Amino acid sequence: MGTTLAVARREFRSFFNSPVAYIVLGGFLLTAGWLYFSTLFVAGQASLRGFFGVAPVLFVVFAPAVTMRLIAEERKSGTLELLLTMPLNDWQVVTGKFLAALGMVGVGLLLTLPYPLSVAALTAPGASFDWGPVVMGYVGLLLLASSFLAIGLWASALSRNQIVGFIIGLVLCFAFYFVDKFAVVLPQTLSAVLQYLSVDYHFDNIARGVLDSRDVLFYVTLTVVGLALTTRTLSNVRQ
For the stretch 40-98, pLDDT in tens is 666 556 667 777 888 888 899 999 999 988 888 777 776 666 666 666 788 888 899 99
pLDDT in tens, 127-181: 677 778 888 989 999 999 999 999 999 999 998 888 999 999 999 999 998 887 7
Which structural domain range is residue 200 located in?
A: 1-236
C-beta contacts of 200-205 below 8 A and 24+ residues apart: 200/56, 202/140, 202/143, 202/144, 203/56, 203/140, 203/141, 203/143, 203/144
Count of domains observed in the chain:
1
Whole-model pTM over 0.95: no
Q: Would you tell me the crossing angle of helices 90-110 and 2-16 to the nearest 10 degrees?
A: 50
Give the residue, 111 or 192, on which the prediction is more confident: 111
pLDDT tier, 185 (very low <50, low <70, confident <90, very high otherwise): low
